[in-house]
Amino acid sequence: MISRKKQKTKINENNKIEKQKKPFKIACAVSAGGHLTEMNMILSKEVLEGCKKILLTEKTKRTENMKGVYFFKPFSYNPLPFIPAFLRCYIIFRREKPDLVFSTGAEIAVPAILVAKLLGIKTMFIDDAMRVKTPTLAGKICYPFTDIFLVPYFQMKEVYGKKTRYWGGII
């Protein structure tokens, strides 16, 4: 038996049927604290207009009632929870099919960026606005696998490498 997915269609002004384009889907992988705040400042409602956002983060009082969220256990500097987080990101990205994986850092950024790169999904990482002179651990790990790597301070370009872009006060 062959299953066919229904395609969304609409009728244009010339009474012709057109396929509707699917909305651009962004997977945001951030920790639930300041990184989530930074992400919300960057990806405001105006920026996300017409896009679908899914969130990968920890479950906290702040995030427990949010919609479109996949919760992960925090793994801090312990590498063992990284493996199930990597596998879970793989399953989520295969199901959700995001067009872009975006992160402002911390724990969940690493498996999300690595899985995205493995699946051929575009990636964007914006380094922590609180770091002025030293790189973040997530930034150092994600840098080689990120398509667009932005830093909020000019001097951080030299810390990471050639593909780093400084784009002024991002936040």
Q: Is residue 121, in this structure, part of any structural domain at all?
A: yes
* Per-residue model confidence as pLDDT tens digits over 155-170: 888 888 889 988 776 5
Q: What pLDDT is recorded for position 43?
A: 73
Domain containing residue 110: CATH number: 3.40.50.2000
| Domain boundaries, position 98 | 22-166
| Across 87-96, average pLDDT | 94
Least confident of 4-8, 55-59, 99-103, 154-158: 4-8
Rounded Cα distance, 17 and 53, in Å: 28
For the chain, the domain total comes to 1
Written as one string, the DSSP assignment of 103-159 is EEESTTHHHHHHHHHHHT-EEEEE--TT-SSS--HHHHHHGGG-SEEEESSTTHHHH
28 beta partners? 55, 102
Q: Name the pTM for this structure.
A: 0.78
Q: Is the pLDDT of residue 31 over 80?
A: no
Q: Is residue 1, in this structure, part of any structural domain at all?
A: no
- Tell me the three state secondary structure of residue 24: strand
CA 169 → CA 65, 73, 87, 166, distances in Å?
30, 31, 35, 9
